[in-house]
Amino acid sequence: MIPGRFKPKDADSFTYPMIMELLEFLAGVPTFDAEQDELFSLHAYLIAAFGDIPAISMILRMKGHNGIFPCRMCLIKGVRVPNTRNTSHYVPLYRANHPVVLAGDNAEVAVYASANLPLRTHEQFLDQARHVQLAPTSAEEQHRAKACGIKGIPLLSHLPSLFFPSSFPFDFMHLIWENLLPNLVLLWTGKFKGLDEGHESYELGPGVWEAIGEVTKASGSTIPAAYATARPQNVAEDGSACTADSWSFWALYLGPVLLKGCFQKEIYYKHFVKLIKLLRLCLQFEITSEECSEIREGFQDWVETFEKSVMEFHCSSIDGTDSHSIRIYYQNSPDRVSTCPLTIHALLHIADGIEAMGPVWAYWAFLMERFCGKLLRCIKSRRHPFANIDSYIMAVGQLDQIRNRYNAHDQLALLPPKGANSREFAFAECTYPHACSNRVVTEFSIDRSNVGPMFSTPKNPDYPRQPSLENHRHIDYSLQHNAHHH
């Protein structure tokens, strides 16, 4: 845990203790096996790290998503919005008409092929990191860092079990549910970075999105609880308040139904539905090599359609057919290059992450985000919040070990089922099992009949929360009495 409200200026100073422990695990740590009553050498290997784009950029010592080379997976070069003070860099595939390319610099790529991106390799990544680290002056260091997007040698490179950058796939939760989907909604509602529709008409009509939000909220009364952890929110009232879970449920189950017939042209709806089909493929528990190829080709086509022209054919009274070029969001316009942030380009690397690390659920941030939510609720002291967190993590870890060691999941459940009478789950006697099967250990029993139910809440506010001194004495006496009989 890193204390404070802001990210650390030197992340390596916080990861150093962890790296030292992992290096010890590589060599092997003597560990006691309670089942076999013997020591063995425990080895552990870190093979993956995940998080949102800024967090991974920090531990990889990269410039980040606003740098000239923002992608950690490939060396695509970013471009700025021309004639503005915006210093952010964006990564469209097509930039042949961008002023930087038209200036005549042969080093500038006019069009990147989605199926043939300049991927980074492990050796290249570390060579560039060393080249930056060994710069003779700080000015030269900055110059070299801009040329590759890497600011130095990451401390994690000392672990031979990690490969750069394949061991750091894009996190699906942040990439899709907290960036891609909300940005699409901003485009549909005309609120994306002050841009209009350009030459197209992908924005929803007046009141359409508000109606979709109301229907989304009302749908909660007919949706089984197994499909969602919480009732769907009104996505139109405050989309920023929607969680990743909310956007995930809306996109996978409600969006394709509610958006049907809402766009002026069906191609916008088909483009969205194709995205949902690809996301469903990514969320499978098992993904075959054929499905991985389908995901790769599908995202390549989706991103290209997001950017470049699409020909729409329709009937004409003159020669029978006519065509119209639809460019959807980017429209190959330099002034609209902000519609192509790194979160759009990163879709082209989803299949790479699946091939390297497995299905996206194996390394997404849902688990860690929920764990952080539990940590937040455990803080009881404003003066010593981090001491509270440390104590909570230690206690939970010890309880998990006991629960797993003795298969006591039901007996050590700290909370009763929701909606149940708490007194029904109180027990009068608790037996502690033997610590080791091959050792003689005294078995103690605690008579809780005089202590009160485990989960009961006193109705009288003056009633002490802890058992009285008399009850404490009764517990001690029960321990001594049972020990004597055993």
pLDDT tens, 444-463? 333 434 433 333 333 444 43
Residue 401 is classified by DSSP as H
**With b meaning 16 or more CB within 10 Å and e meaning fewer, what string describes 437-470?**
eeeeeeeebbbbeebeeebeeeeeeeeeeeeeee
pLDDT at 477 over 60: no
Residues 18 and 39 in one domain: yes
pLDDT at res. 406: 85
Residues 206 and 121 in one domain: no
Residues 439 and 466 in one domain: yes
Final residue of a structural domain among 152, 168, 184: 168
pLDDT at res. 457: 36
Q: CA 358 → CA 72, 147, 288, 351, 364, distances in Å? A: 19, 31, 10, 9, 11
Residues 60 and 179 in one domain: no
pLDDT above 90: percentage of residues in the chain: 57
Q: Could you tell me if residue 382 is inside a domain?
A: no
Q: Which residue has the higher pLDDT, 371 or 268?
A: 268
- What pTM did the predictor assign? 0.79
If one counts every other C-beta atom within 10 angstroms of the C-beta of residue 35, the result is 9
Where does the pLDDT of residue 359 fall: very low under 50, low under 70, confident under 90, or very high at 90 and above? very high
Nearest to 213 by CA among 254, 273, 174, 173: 254
Where does the pLDDT of residue 310 fall: very low under 50, low under 70, confident under 90, or very high at 90 and above? low
Distance (Å, whole) CA 260 – CA 200:
19
pLDDT tens, 81-112? 999 988 899 999 999 999 999 987 667 899 99
Give the type of residue at 166. S
How long a stretch of residues is the chain?
A: 486
Token pair in block for residue 306: 């997001």
Q: Could you tell me if residue 370 is inside a domain?
A: no
Q: Could you tell me if residue 24 is inside a domain?
A: yes
pLDDT above 70: percentage of residues in the chain: 79
Q: Could you tell me if residue 378 is inside a domain?
A: no
Q: Could you tell me if residue 293 is inside a domain?
A: yes
Nearest to 81 by CA among 66, 64, 63, 62: 66
Residues 355 and 438 in one domain: no
Q: Could you tell me if residue 319 is inside a domain?
A: yes
Where does the pLDDT of residue 335 fall: very low under 50, low under 70, confident under 90, or very high at 90 and above? very high
Q: In this structure, are residues 90 and 338 in contact, taking their beta carbons and an 8 Å threshold? A: yes
Of the listed ranges 55-64, 259-268, 300-309, 421-430, the least confidently predicted one is 421-430
Residues 217 and 302 in one domain: yes
Where does the pLDDT of residue 382 fall: very low under 50, low under 70, confident under 90, or very high at 90 and above? confident
Residues 177 and 55 in one domain: no
Q: Could you tell me if residue 93 is inside a domain?
A: no
Domain that holds residue 340: 172-362
Q: Could you tell me if residue 257 is inside a domain?
A: yes
Residues 263 and 351 in one domain: yes
Residues 185 and 136 in one domain: no
pLDDT tens, 58-69? 999 999 888 999
- Packing angle of the helix pair 385-405, 366-378 (nearest 10 deg): 120
What's the domain count of the chain?
3
Residues 191 and 259 in one domain: yes
pLDDT at 168 over 80: yes
pLDDT at res. 476: 37
Residues 222 and 266 in one domain: yes
Q: CA 273 → CA 1, 48, 137, 183, 201, distances in Å? A: 40, 31, 52, 16, 18
pLDDT at res. 419: 55
Distance (Å, whole) CA 54 – CA 69:
14
Sign of CA dihedral 109, 113, 119, 124: negative
Residue 307 is classified by DSSP as H
pLDDT at res. 127: 97
Residues 268 and 288 in one domain: yes
